[in-house]
Amino acid sequence: MGLGTMNLDKPPRRKFHPVYLTLLLPYIALLCVPFYNVIEPTLLGIPFFYWWQMLWIPLGSLCILPVFLRGEGK
Amino acid sequence: MSMAPNAVTLTVFLGLFALVTVVGFFAARWRAGDLSELHEWGLGGRRFGTWVTWFLLGGDLYTAYTFIAVPALMFGAGAPGFFAVPYTILMYPLLFVAFPRLWSVAQKHGYVTAADFVRGRFGSRELSLAIAVTGIVATMPYIALQLVGMQVVLAALGINFSLNLPGFGAVDMPLLIAFTILAFYTYSSGLRAPALIAVVKDLLVYITVFAAVIFIPAQLGGYGAVFDAVPEKTLLLAKGVGSNLGAEFAYASLALGSILALFLYPHAVTGLLSSSSRQVVRRNAMILPAYSLALALIALLGYMAIASGVRTDPQYAAGFAAFGNNFAVPALFLKMFPAWFAGLAFAAIAIGALVPAAIMSIACANLFTRNIYKEWINPNCTNAQESFVAKIVSIVVKFGALIFVLELKSTYAIQLQLLGGIWMCQTLPSVLLALYTRFCHPMALLAGWASGLIAGTWMVSQLAFKSSTYTLNLFGLEVPCYAAVSALLLNLAVSYGLTLVINAVSKPVRRDETRPEDYL
């Protein structure tokens, strides 16, 4: 890229891609507290409140994966 | 305290402690660099790959105090203590998006601290100073809390004897010795020491946690029995009543505010900038949640402690009297684990205190040297002088924290750390948002920072420094919100509002040494 093509008013940005929206899923799942602030259904005797949040530990990583892979190819 | 040391537990503990001491001093020669350069001493030469960064950040962000305090909170208060779990999940998408940008711009311009970046981005020494001072002041009580975590473990081992030192009164000797050793190897090895020690520490932590969550519930009659032992009232968050949004809102705001504060803390920035590429930062956003799993399991240890009945066991009464609920996990380990394994678990926690304490003191030293000493006191200092000042400051900071814990009640450290998180959050518009936009005028950011700081501190003072959830009255609605978040909203309003005013009355000159492509 030559200097002549650089436009200082519009900084180069990584283009927004819908795949970035997957990053919002953990926030929706974990910030809607009333949804999971319940006992049932329990899992191995663990109330929903606890296992739902723990379930989102691996799911949170998985939500980053598609965005990560998109960046990896570049 | 009357607890007698167990020979096996103590031997295992001391053996592991000796091992990490050797590792700490050896670290100076690992991937050797010229330690008279600040970026070599204070950032490990920016050479840490994916795994070292993983261990380093894991040891750095999930501290010994967390391992003691989170289960203690679950033990005492129940469900609200679990907020650490959503908090440590939700920080990673943010880390993944924002921090590669910080890494790139820091690499390009040789920034060592967040305040360096602010200096370059806004061309304002004053704003940079404000960021640096906030970082140092917020981190000091955090270091002190690591010592509190260590104190609890030393007491559980039965080796918290003290000697009268002239001028200081009774001083807890093992704590003093441990911290002196730490100070020396941090001085000689810099960030390489906690990076290598973190590997040992984390292996111990994972072994302890997985043994604990399999072995202890099996003895207590399974997870069902553990949760049955928890009082029904605290097993879930209290629902809001009438116009009050209740503990559920407070829980979400606490998780959100803690995320924003955490990555602005100097030790987090230091850990991230020491990685060898932005790809390492991106990968770590995906693999660091492994520690969140460990943290969630550790949080549940608080419930296991309830089920095991340690609170009413006369054997541990002295420990609870001295340390309150913070003694829950050590008591649980003493009761449920064989002697040798308790020694290993205690070593994990104590070494877990050394790693973040070292990184935090290095981060404070970097800030002081770069953004106060070099900027305001001795602008013409040589690289060797700069690195030397940092090494000295790292020692001063550690002993400052030590004196703090020994001479003042540990509750002050806890209260200050509570405030620290709120203060750190107020640097968000100048640091995190500045990675995307330099719209705000530095003077407006400074005013926003000050108003957030004052409002946050005022709210917590209204709660007698006991809690950080201040209830706001908004249009007839009672909103219990983490003070860091509400103070940040005020901060943002002031920063943007004042910028619009400044832009309307004058045409301010922008002094930004970074270019948009530096961030990619």
Average pLDDT over residues B99-126: 92
What pLDDT score was predicted for residue B1? 43
Q: What pLDDT sits at residue A5?
A: 42
Q: How far apart are CA B86 and CA B324, in angstroms?
A: 26
Q: Is the pLDDT of residue B80 over 50?
A: yes
Given CB atoms, is A56 within the 8 Å cutoff of chain B?
yes
- The closest CB to that of B222, out of A13, A39, A45, belongs to A45
- Chain A segment 17-46 residues within 8 A of B by beta carbon are 20, 23-24, 26-27, 30-31, 33-34, 37-39, 42, 44-46
Helices (H), A1-74: 25-31, 33-36, 48-72
Q: Is the preceding omega at residue A41 within 30 degrees of 0, hence cis?
A: yes
How far does B277 lie from chain A, in Å, by closest CA? 13
CA distances from A14 to B164, B276, B362, B429, B452 (A): 62, 22, 34, 21, 32
CB contact under 8 A, A44 and B223: yes
Structural domains counted in chain B: 1
Whole-complex ipTM: 0.85
Distance from CA of A33 to the nearest CA of B (A): 6
The answer as to whether B1 is a domain residue is: no
Is it the case that residue B32 has pLDDT exceeding 80?
Answer: no
Cβ(A26)–Cβ(B94) below 8 Å? no
- Any domain includes B103: yes
Average pLDDT over residues B485-490: 93
**Could you report the per-residue pLDDT of B411-444, keeping only the tens digit for each?**
677 777 778 889 999 999 999 999 998 889 999 9
Q: Region B478-493: what's the mean pLDDT?
A: 91
- Please indicate whether residue B93 or residue B464 has the higher confidence score (pLDDT): B93
Residue contact B93–A26, C-beta within 8 A? yes
Structure confidence at residue B159 (pLDDT):
78
Q: Looking at chain B, which residue has its C-alpha nearest residue A39? A: B236
Please enumerate, as own/partner, the contacts of B368-374 that have beta carbons within 8 Å and a separation of 24 or more.
B368/B132, B368/B136, B368/B393, B369/B38, B369/B42, B369/B393, B370/B38, B370/B112, B370/B113, B370/B115, B370/B116, B370/B132, B371/B113, B371/B115, B371/B116, B371/B119, B371/B128, B371/B129, B371/B131, B371/B132, B372/B129, B372/B132, B372/B133
Mapping DSSP to helix (H, G, I), strand (E, B) and coil, where does residue B163 land? Answer: strand
Distance from CA of A45 to the nearest CA of B (A): 4
Tens digit of pLDDT for each residue in B312-355? 888 888 888 888 888 999 999 999 999 899 999 999 888 888 88
Residue B379 within any structural domain of the chain: yes
Closest residue in chain B to residue A73, using alpha carbons only: B279
Closest chain B C-alpha to A42 CA, distance in angstroms: 9
Query: Would you call B96 and A68 a contact, using CB atoms and an 8 Å cutoff?
Result: yes
B2 is a domain residue: no
Percent of chain B beyond pLDDT 70?
98
Decide if A12 touches B, using CB distance below 8 A: yes
- Cα angle value B264/B237/B422 (rounded, 5°): 20
Rounded alpha-carbon distances, angstroms, from residue B260 to B155, B229, B254, B265, B488: 34, 34, 10, 9, 10
* A36 min Cα distance to partner chain B (Å): 10
State the average pLDDT for chain B: 86
The C-alpha torsion from B214 through B216 and B219 to B222, rounded to 10°, is -60
**Any idea what the CATH number is for the domain that residue B341 is in?**
1.20.1730.10
In sequence order, the 6+-apart residues with CB closer than 8 A to the CB of B191 are B41, B42, B43, B44, B56, B270, B274, B359, B362
Q: Which amino acid is at B360?
A: M
Name which of B288-302, B377-391, B407-421 the model is least confident about: B407-421
- Residue B446 in domain: yes
Domain ranges, residue B126: 7-519
pLDDT band, residue A13 (cuts 50/70/90): low
pLDDT in tens, B242-279: 777 788 888 888 888 888 888 889 988 888 888 888 88
**Are B90 and A64 inside 8 Å of each other by CB?**
no
